[in-house]
Amino acid sequence: MTHTATTPTVQLSRPLRGEDLRAAAGPLHVAVDERVAARLGRGREHLRAVLADDERPVYGAKTGFGALVGFAGRADEADQCDNTLAHLGAGQGPDLPLPVVRAALLVRAWSLAQGLSGVSPHVVEGVAAMFGSTFTPAVPRHGSVGASGDLIPLAYAAQALRGRGSAYVDGVRLPAADALERVGLAPLELDGRDALALVNGTSVTTAALSLALDRVRACHRAAQDLTCLLADLLGCAPAFLDARLLGAFAHPGAAVVGERMRGVLAGVRASGERPLQEPYSLRCSPQLLGAAEDALRYADGVVAADLAGVSDNPLFFPDDDAVVHGGNFFGQPAAYAGDVLAAVAASVGNLVERQLDLLVDPGRNTGLPPMLAAGPGQQHGLQGVQLATTALVAELRRTAVPASTQSLPTNLHNQDVVPFGTQAALRSHDGAELLWLLCGSLALGLRQAAHVGARRPTAAGTAALLDRLAAAIPPVDPDRPLDAEVRLAAELVTGLGC
């Protein structure tokens, strides 16, 4: 593949970062340097020595899979590969978002590149080469319990890289063999150990969780900014952000959020027309958003560990001549973090929706017209948008039902406990998208409030935010469909697209 000066580069010899996974949505240069090649060669040589020893068992290379581990596997390595992947072709549902699939394969490539999985060097090189194109396997959403890795979704990815199943090129779904030919990639050849190593990790879970965390963090910052703009437009006193008050609260997240919001509101002047104590959606916003900050820091730690960890079974340690069978494919940390992230999205989304409800209510918005309509009755302003936000919050609450507590035994009780980390991560990914739309809805409402009589913001930070919105979005006067402008406003305040 040809790489331009503007193509991002990821080195598999260093730990992955969240920005690497975001960059994987488009063409990316994934570098397999000499250190990685040496690790892979040493690991592969060790695997060969172990497989040659009839006295040393190796799960999935010499045996059947899962509950059938007590039976011998296929003697031919190509047959063992086919058997590994064929029986996992049981996924259902819509295809996963393409950025999630590409991010998952980057996570998988990094894990394999650490040399502890015994894979053929050309496997890592082949996955790395995929990123120079827009080739993306078509992977169904449903099928993983996140307990032996994301077996079923990663099997679809592996099959596509072999030229089987389906894949996307430039967003168009094609037979995988045609897609590979279109981008100039050769089908990936795998043996039994290669195939198992590709599927036996929680890479889909990690990828979805990392991408969700990025979006929720961006929305969390946007919610702070939008709260400040709401307070300034309405003329609220900034006492709810007082450093002494939040210091006495003693929660670090509240102090961090309060400091940032005070910076956005620097120079604000209260109108003197608001009640002594604002509704909780304003007055308690630093406490709520601060608690979200503390929770997000927990998720930060889980994602960082997942991106720096090897997820597979068994692991091969050439320096110790050891093959260790265990459970490094068990996605419990991501399950907890995904549930926490979904809860954060739901609570911050509820806050944003309540703030929009306050803004459109003439009984609480310092006399602005109902629904921020330029001509109430003849026009309806934000009425449709406000109605849609109610539906979005209801959907957010559904996505926040914990997945990590839903363990069900499967696989003849070989997997008698499972984390459902994949479901937790994908639900948090869904919730992040809904939260993004809610932020766009409030941003659109604030822009409209300035048109129908709200005062000019008195703080430089809030004035700049309003000006940026006003420059991109005309007033709602007369009424018009606002679906696209909700998304535009969300992009403006979060810095992230759809």
CATH value at residue 183: 1.10.275.10
pLDDT at 165 over 70: yes
pLDDT reported for residue 339: 97
Q: Are residues 234 and 193 part of one domain? A: no
| Type of residue found at 141 | R
Structure tokens belonging to residue 19: 């920005």
**Residue 59 among the catalytic residues:** yes
Given a cut of 90, whether residue 485 has pLDDT beyond it is: yes
Average pLDDT of every residue of the chain: 94
**3: in domain:** no
Backbone torsion region of residue 353, taken as left when φ is above 0, otherwise alpha when ψ lies between -120 and 50, otherwise beta:
alpha
Query: 179-211 burial, b for 16+ CB within 10 Å, e for fewer?
Result: bbebbebeebebbbbbbbbbbbbbbbbbbbbbb
Q: Is residue 343 part of a domain?
A: yes
Whole-number pLDDT of residue 3 = 55
Query: Does any domain span residue 4?
Result: no
Q: Do 188 and 220 fall into the same domain?
A: no
Residue 169: pLDDT above 80? Answer: yes
Q: How confident is the model at residue 411 (pLDDT cuts 50, 70, 90)?
A: confident
C-alpha distances (whole Å) from 72 to each of 13, 80, 87, 315 are 36, 11, 16, 20
Question: What is the reported pLDDT for 496?
Answer: 93
196 and 324, same domain (yes or no) = no
Give the global pTM: 0.96
246 in the same domain as 188: no
Minimum mean pLDDT among 33-37, 177-181, 414-418, 494-498: which range?
A: 414-418
**Dihedral, CA of residue 106, residue 109, residue 114 and residue 117, to nearest 10:** 140
Residue 71 shares a structural domain with residue 150: yes
CA distance 99 to 423: 17
Query: What domain range is 286 assigned to?
Result: 209-494
What is the per-residue pLDDT for 5? Answer: 57
Question: Residue range 352-369: average pLDDT?
Answer: 96
Tell which of 151, 171, 201 closes a domain: 201
Catalytic choice (59, 156, 168, 336): 59
84 band by pLDDT with thresholds 50, 70 and 90: confident
- At 414 the pLDDT is 77
Segment 6-24 shows an average pLDDT of 94
Tell me the CATH number at 454.
1.20.200.10
Structural domain ending residue among the three candidates 201, 223, 238: 201
203-234 and 332-360 helices, crossing angle to 10°? 20
* Residue 232 belongs to a domain: yes
Q: Is the pLDDT of residue 255 over 90?
A: yes
- Same-domain pairing of 233 and 197: no
What backbone torsions phi and psi does residue 63 show, to the nearest 5 degrees?
-125, 170
> Per-residue pLDDT for 470 more than 70?
yes
Is 1 within a domain? Answer: no
Render pLDDT for 373-397 as a digit per residue (tens, 0 to 9): 999 999 999 999 999 999 999 999 9
Residue 55, pLDDT score: 84
Whether residue 245 sits in one domain with residue 171: no
* 149 shares its domain with 223: no
Q: What is the pLDDT of residue 11?
A: 94
3-class state of residue 2 by DSSP: coil
Is residue 224 over pLDDT 70?
yes
Question: Around Cβ 378, how many Cβ atoms within 10 Å?
Answer: 9
Same domain, 213 and 197: no
User: Residue 4: its pLDDT value, please?
Assistant: 58
* 297 and 167 housed in the same domain: no
Mean pLDDT in residue range 341-364: 97
Residue 226 has pLDDT above 70, yes or no: yes
**Is residue 1 predicted with pLDDT exceeding 60?**
no
On the question of pLDDT at 431 being above 90, the answer is: yes
Quote the CA–CA distance of 77 and 448 in Å, as a whole number.
65
pLDDT score at 308: 95
Residue 122 has pLDDT above 60, yes or no: yes
388 and 442 both lie in a single domain: yes
Last residue of a domain, one of 201, 222, 253: 201
Domain count of the fold of the chain = 2
Residue 49 has pLDDT above 60, yes or no: yes
Res 306: pLDDT: 96
Assess whether pLDDT exceeds 70 at residue 217.
yes
Q: Tell me, yes or no, whether 181 and 230 share the same domain.
A: no
Q: Residue 283's pLDDT band (boundaries 50, 70, 90)?
A: very high
